[in-house]
Amino acid sequence: MRKKTAYFVAAIAVVVICVIALQVLRRRGSDTAANYETVLVRRDTIVATVNASGSVMAEEQLSVNFLSGGLLAEVNVQVGQKVEAGQQLARLDTRQLELSVAQAEATLRTSEARLGQTRAGPELGEIAAAEASVESAQALYQAAKNRLGLRDEQLSIAEADLEKAELALRDAQAAYDRVAWLPQIGMLPQAATLERATIDYRRALANYQLQVAAVDDTSFKSAAAQLAQAKAQLEKLQRTPTAEELAIAEAQVEQAKASLEQARLRLADAVLVAAISGTVASIGAQVGEVVGAAMPMFVLADLEHYCVDASIDEVDIGRIQVGQEALITLDAFPDAKLRGRVVRVDPLGRVTQGVVSYAAEIQILSAAVELRPAMTAIADIVVASKEGVLVVPNRAIKREGRGEYYVEVMSGDKVQQRLVTTGLSNDLITEIVSGLSEGEEVVVSAPRRSILEEVSHPPFGF
């Protein structure tokens, strides 16, 4: 008896559940059009952007330091002060450097005076005295020769060759003197002719001296030696200056000039000037401290022109180009929208914890707020834009297993799936290239009813 009662109760429960399920299905069918959230397919302008984060920086920032170390004698600016390019910022102690300049100037004057003397050659009085010495030595030589009654042919030939060489040397020297003032005298044929004549004279003189040495008479040898010495001195004076002497004197002047210029540069480097116009952001030392060449003395920044040093993810870098516009938002001023433009994209990427990114510089074109370096910024870079295209909200687009996209279209009281081809998209809407027409109604949200809601209105008043 109990089993029959249990079967009967179970059968009644099954019937009741079936009736409730049928009622729920009918209610859902009748509420389809009313409970789905839909939008109309419309034409609009769609703008695609790439999001990048970064920091605000001065468009131009420069560290300035002395080229050589020393004792800091003056600091002429303070932090926050605006300076112009070329304005003096600080100065080292220059006393030792000024002494070096004075010494280099004195050395240059000495070298120039020596060059002048070399170019001018010997004075007329010196040449006249040398000629008189030659005549006196010649007379003594001739007297000694006559006293001995020398008639040796070899000695006579040597004397004749020596006299001939002397004449050739004088002619070459005269030709050289006429063009000695030219700057490239060493390259002219007159210089070579004088050099050959000098060599011939020395050879003739050596041969003559050998012939004299063969004569066994002390007084004659002494007179011949005095004559040779007097002629050598006269020949030296007559051919001064030589090309080599001029070259040496000129080189000494050039060396002195270079030393003076180097000393002046060191003195000029002791004064630090602003390389750019901007604001003094920091000062690295105080008066009285010793600063080094590698020590940053000042940091100058252009606080009137700013940019964003942004980081672009590698999946988006292919869409970024110089010249693209951007909309910049700052954490410090979330309600302000600043216009910007991409002005640089680094060709090399950087890897941080396995993530590849690329640095880009976005110039801030307009700033309605007070900007400061290091502010956090978010930039939406416009990579594409289309006008008058069909668009739907991103929520309306779904993807099936084969990778195709579809939307749910309201057709009367029914919902139909339809494949679509998508185009440009952003965070809110997507372009529909094909599959939909303007004015059609697409589903963006389906109704959701809980079990409690379903059983709160049971059929037949259960």
d(CA 142, CA 161): 17
Q: Give yes or no: residues 197 and 274 share one domain.
A: no
User: Tell me, what DSSP letter sits at residue 333?
Assistant: S
Evaluate whether residue 387 is within a structural domain. Answer: yes
Q: Give yes or no: residues 233 and 281 share one domain.
A: no
d(CA 445, CA 41): 15
Q: Which structure tokens are listed for 58?
A: 């001065």
Q: Give yes or no: residues 334 and 431 share one domain.
A: yes
Evaluate whether residue 109 is within a structural domain. Answer: no
Evaluate whether residue 457 is within a structural domain. Answer: no
What domain range includes position 182?
122-240
Distances (CA, A) of 172 to 165, 201, 330: 11, 11, 87
Q: Give yes or no: residues 359 and 284 share one domain.
A: no
Q: Give yes or no: residues 75 and 126 share one domain.
A: no
Q: Give yes or no: residues 352 and 288 share one domain.
A: no
- Which string of b and e fits 344-357 if b means at least 16 CB within 10 Å? ebeeeeeeeeeeeb
Q: Give yes or no: residues 53 and 65 share one domain.
A: no
**Number of domains the chain contains:** 3
Q: Give yes or no: residues 313 and 291 share one domain.
A: no
User: Tell me, what DSSP letter sits at residue 242?
Assistant: P
Domain CATH code at residue 311: 2.40.30.170
Tell me the residue ranges of DSSP E strands in 59-157.
61-64, 70-75, 82-83, 88-92
pLDDT on residue 460 = 38
pLDDT on residue 5 = 65
The model's pTM is 0.54
Evaluate whether residue 282 is within a structural domain. Answer: yes
Domain boundary among 250, 279, 301: 301
pLDDT on residue 420 = 93
Evaluate whether residue 358 is within a structural domain. Answer: yes
Q: Give yes or no: residues 315 and 435 share one domain.
A: yes
Q: Give yes or no: residues 214 and 344 share one domain.
A: no
pLDDT on residue 400 = 83
Q: Give yes or no: residues 287 and 338 share one domain.
A: no
pLDDT on residue 230 = 79
Domain CATH code at residue 73: 2.40.50.100
pLDDT on residue 99 = 94
Q: Give yes or no: residues 436 and 330 share one domain.
A: yes
Cβ atoms within 10 Å, residue 158: 20
Mean pLDDT by 10 residues, the chain (462 residues): 60 66 52 72 91 91 89 93 93 93 94 81 69 79 65 68 83 79 75 85 80 64 77 67 77 92 93 92 92 88 91 91 93 91 93 91 88 91 91 90 88 88 88 91 74 45 38
